[in-house]
Structure 1
Amino acid sequence: PLQQVDPSIEGRSGLSLDHTEWLGDQHIQTDYELLMQDLQRNDPDLAARTRLIDPLIAHYHLRLGDESTALSAFQRIVNDQNGRDTADFLFLPVSDASASDPDRRGTHWSLLLVDRRNREGPAAYHYDSFRGQNNEFAAMLAQRLGTRLEPVRMTQQRNDYDCGVFVVDGTRALVRRLARRDRPAVLHLDNLVADREQLQRRLS
C-alpha cells in the first residue's frame, strides 16, 4: 500500500515514477487518460459507456463531499454531453486519506468497479491488493453511489509500495474483459500481475 495522495500536484505529462515510489493521484489519472484514449480508438462503444474517474473526484466529491456535492459530481460523471445517463461502468480509485486530518493524506489505494448495466440494481466490486485495508472506505463509497458490494478475489501485493500499480493494471485488465463482453462472474483479479516497468514506460 502506502501511496501519497497529493491534490496539489499539477501537470500530468512526462511523469516520472521511481522503482519503489508510491503512486500519487496524478500518476493514476494520467494512466486513466491514456487508457481512455486507447479505448476511444479501439472500442468507441465501450468508451462511451465507461468512466475512469479522477481519484480526487472520487475522494473529495463522491466519498467526502456533502450530499449535494456528491450528487452533482455523480450526475456530471454519468451523463453525456446531451444529458443522458450512458455510464454502465465506473472505475473509482479508493484512497484511505482522512476527511478530518490534513496530515493523513493517504497510504493505500484500491479499486472500486461499479457495474450499472442494471440501473435498478447496480453492483460494485472492490479490488484491494492489501488484505482489505480499504474495505471500510470502499463500502462507504459504494453506499454513496447506491450500489451493493459483491465479493471478488484480488491478487495480493508482495511489497508496501505497489498498490497504485495494482489499481491501474487492474482497471486495464477489467476493461479488456469488458471489451470481450464478459459477464461479472469472471471479473475476479486473482491472477493479476502488476507491471511497474510497463507503467513507467506509459507515463514517460
Structure 2
Amino acid sequence: MVDLPSTPHELRDDAHYAPAFSSTSADAHIAALNQTASSHGHGGLELGARDWLSDEHIAADYTLLIQELQRDNPDLASRTRLVDPLIAHYHLRLGSESVAARAFQRLVHNQDGNDTADFLFLPVSDASVSDPNRRGSHWSLLLVDRRERARPAAYHYDSAVGYNDAPAALLAQRLGARLELARMTQQSNGYDCGVFVLDGTRALVRRLAQRRRPGMLHLDSLVVDRLALQNRLRC
C-alpha cells in the first residue's frame, strides 16, 4: 500500500512535456493525426511499477487503441479522435487563437475534408509553457461529444477530483464546449493518474461502441490495470 499525499501539491504524477514544436513540425504532427493511425511507435516502451506516465506512454497506447478500433469497429474509429497529449496541451489549450483553430480543423476533418469527429479524447495536463518550473503534476481526461455540432459537451474525468479543473475548463472553452463534471474512481497513490486516463479512455470507447450516451458514462467503478498497460507498451 502507498500512503496518499497529504496535499494536491504532493500528487506528483508525471505530466511533463518536451519543448514546443516549431510551427512547421507542428503542422506535420497535427496532419499525421488524421491518418488511419498515429505516427507514434509503441514498441519497447518501459513502464515500471510506480513510474509516472509521460506523453509518449499516452500517445503510444492511444495508437494501439485506434488500431484496435479500426479493426473491430471501423465506423466508431472514423468518428473518434484520440488526441496526442502534445497537441492537446501546446496547440489546443496554450496555443494562439490561430494555432488552436488550425489544430482543431486538422483534427476534426478527415482526409476528404469532411468533419467526421463526433468524439474527441484529450489528455489534460496542468503543465505550463510560460513557467519552466511548472512542468506538470497531473493528468486527467476530457471527452468532447460533438454529435450536436452546435452544442458540444466536454466531460471531465479526474482521478484527483478538482486538481485539473482550471486546465480542463480552459481547454473546453477553447473547443467551444460546455464543461460537465463526470464521476471517476479516485486514485489511491501518487503515480497512477496517467493509467486512469488510458484505462478510462478504453472504458469509454467500449461504452460508446454499445451506443450509450456520454452523459451517462460515469467511471466511478473504474478499476485500472497497470500490468496490462505495461504489457501493451512492451510489445
State TM-score, norm by structure 2.
0.84
**Of 51, 54, 76, which aligns to 2:106?**
76
Partner of 2:119: 89
Rg comparison, structure with higher value: 2
CA deviations on 1:164-201 (whole Å, 9 max, x unpaired) are: 00000000000000000111232100000111001000
- Equivalent of residue 3 in structure 1, options 10, 14, 19: 14
Q: Give CA-to-partner distance per residue, 1:73-120, whole Å, 9 cap, x none.
A: 000000000111000000000001013112321110000000000001
Q: Structure 1-normalised TM-score? A: 0.96
TM-superposed deviation, 1:34:
0.1
Number of residue pairs matched by the alignment: 203
5+ unaligned residues in a row in structure 1: which ranges? Answer: none
Within the candidate set 96, 101, 112, 1:66 is matched to 96
Question: What pairs up with 1:179-198 in 2 under 5 angstroms?
Answer: 179-198=209-228
Structure 2 spans left out of the alignment, 5+ residues:
1-10, 20-39
Seq. identity, %: 68
| Map 1:125-144 → 2, pairs under 5 A | 125-144=155-174
Question: Hey, what's the Cα distance between the residues in 1 that align with 2:161 and 2:206?
Answer: 25
Aligned CA-pair RMSD: 1.2
Distance across 2 between alignment mates of 1:12 and 1:103: 29
Alignment partner, residue 149 of structure 1: 179
1:102 aligned onto 2:132: yes
Q: Is the 8 A contact 2:17 2:54 kept in 1?
A: yes
Aligned residue for 2:7? none
Segments of 4+ in structure 1 off by > 4 A?
none
Question: For residues 114-160 of structure 1, what are the alpha-carbon distances to aligned partners after superposition, in whole Å with 9 as ceiling and x for unaligned?
Answer: 00000010101000001220011000000000000123111100000
